[in-house]
Homo-oligomer: A and B are copies of this chain.
Amino acid sequence: MKNNLTSQASKAGHESVRRHNLSLVLRTVRDEGEVTRARVASLVGLTRAAVSSLVEELLALDCLSESGKTSSGSAGRPGTVLKLSRTGPAGLGVEINIDYVSVCAVDLTGTDRVRVTEHTDHRNVPPAEVLAHAARLTNRVIASTREQELRVVGVELALPGLVSGGVVRQAPNLGWSRVAAEGIFGQALSTLRPAGRALAVGSDNEANLAALAELWFGGLGGVRTFLYLTGEIGVGGALVVNGEMLRGAHGFAGEIGHVVVDPEGPLCRCGAHGCLEQYAGRAALLRASGIDPAMGVRGIAELEQRAAAGEKRAVTALREAGDRLGVVLAGAVNLFDPEAVVLGGIYRSLMPWLEGPADAQLTARVVSGRWHENGSRLRASSLSGDAARGAAARVVHDVLGNPAAFAVR
């Protein structure tokens, strides 16, 4: 009995080592771009025979492809070059926001391969309808990926609210409360694909996923501890510490949009007064600039044009929003001491006008002037429309961590 247990334990141990090594080899190829088996062996510190066996499995899993054979027939084909497969496993991300749905498929390299975005106002639409629409879009994208020989292995939803255990606990700007988004979406999707494999569906807050996309695929150049802000109708935030998402005790950390600017300020959708969202969210910015908030994303393009033309009202509105943003960011930097603050969403294109006033507040308010002393600065996010990509990348990240788990069954 004891021997039996030991042998089971040892078998489990062996499998866990092989799983680890498969992932190690796959991530090494990812990091190197193009690489020979021999080089992989020297980088990961395994024997060439072990690496060859792992590579064979990764080729069979369609995670790697090889090209440019420089010698033929020799053991282990040492001269061929390995790279991540551009076909095979893919991740699918679905961002459901206030006035658009964006679905995106990325391959193992993290490259966007298919993207469909539809602009449509989700306020006052029943959640089940919104999710069914997103499922239809998703099904179309899955069909497109098949044409590119990609195989979607999982779907991740990016949602603008407090998300926990597959449920949107609260999304004030959508008007959602306790919506079992994962379940409803998954049901709608499987109804559309009666013959298809059931796909694992996950979900997370949109700002968290956008921050992960920035971490994995953005231009942070080694920065691993940062505060990420995304401006949409709401203002979302995420905190990444040493490359890990800081989720908090209940999974709701990062809600910087509801940090107070002025306790007596305008009423926010969350029920409190004077939240940052009421000063630096999309509607507030457009209203202050004299642009109809109902114009949505097009309104932001209009604001950008007016500001670029030096229109006083637009420039003033952006300066004031930047100033308030800076006050709240300074508080967050004093609390978290990040290496960088990254602005995404609408802030990305508005950065030229927001940066100056926000940076002035950070310089004045971060304790002991360490904002500039530390070489910190505001950065624009390197990706646009990024939560969907982050969601898709989350799935790919899982594949890179345990490729055998995503084999065709």
**A residues lining the B interface (CB < 8 Å):** 162, 169-170, 172, 225, 237, 239, 241, 246-256, 258-260, 263, 270-272, 275, 327-328, 330-332, 334-339, 361, 364-365, 367-370, 374
Contact = CB atoms under 8 A, between A and B. Distances in A.
A239 B339 CA distance: 17
A128 to B, nearest CB: 21
Contacts of A328: 331
A73 to B, nearest CB: 31
Contact of A330 (B225, B239, B260, B369): B260
A332 B254 CA distance: 9
B335 A256 contact: yes
A364 B256 contact: no
- The 5 A-B pairs of least Cβ separation, nearest first, read A248-B337, A170-B368, A259-B331, A253-B337, A255-B334
10 contacts: A162-B370, A169-B368, A169-B370, A241-B241, A258-B331, A258-B367, A259-B335, A270-B367, A332-B335, A335-B335
Contact of A327 (B260, B330, B332, B339): B260
A6 to B, nearest CB: 14
A252 B225 CA distance: 13
A260 B331 contact: yes
Given A250-B337, A255-B367, 4 more contacts: A250-B370, A258-B334, A271-B364, A271-B369
Given A259-B334, A335-B259, A252 B367 contact: yes
- Do most interface residues of chain A lie in helix, strand or loop, or is the interface mixed? mixed
Nearest to A255: B334
Contacts of A364: 271-272
A162 B333 CA distance: 14
A335 B255 contact: yes
A249 to B, nearest CB: 4
B162 A252 contact: no
Contact of A272 (B255, B263, B332, B365): B365
Given A327-B260, A335-B259, A225 B249 contact: yes
B253 A336 contact: yes
A335 B260 CA distance: 11
A339 B252 CA distance: 11
A174 to B, nearest CB: 13
Contacts of A272: 330, 364-365
A259 B258 CA distance: 15
A350 B361 CA distance: 32
Contacts of A339: 249
Given A248-B225, A327-B260, A170 B335 contact: no
Contact of A162 (B249, B260, B270, B368): B368
B170 A250 contact: no
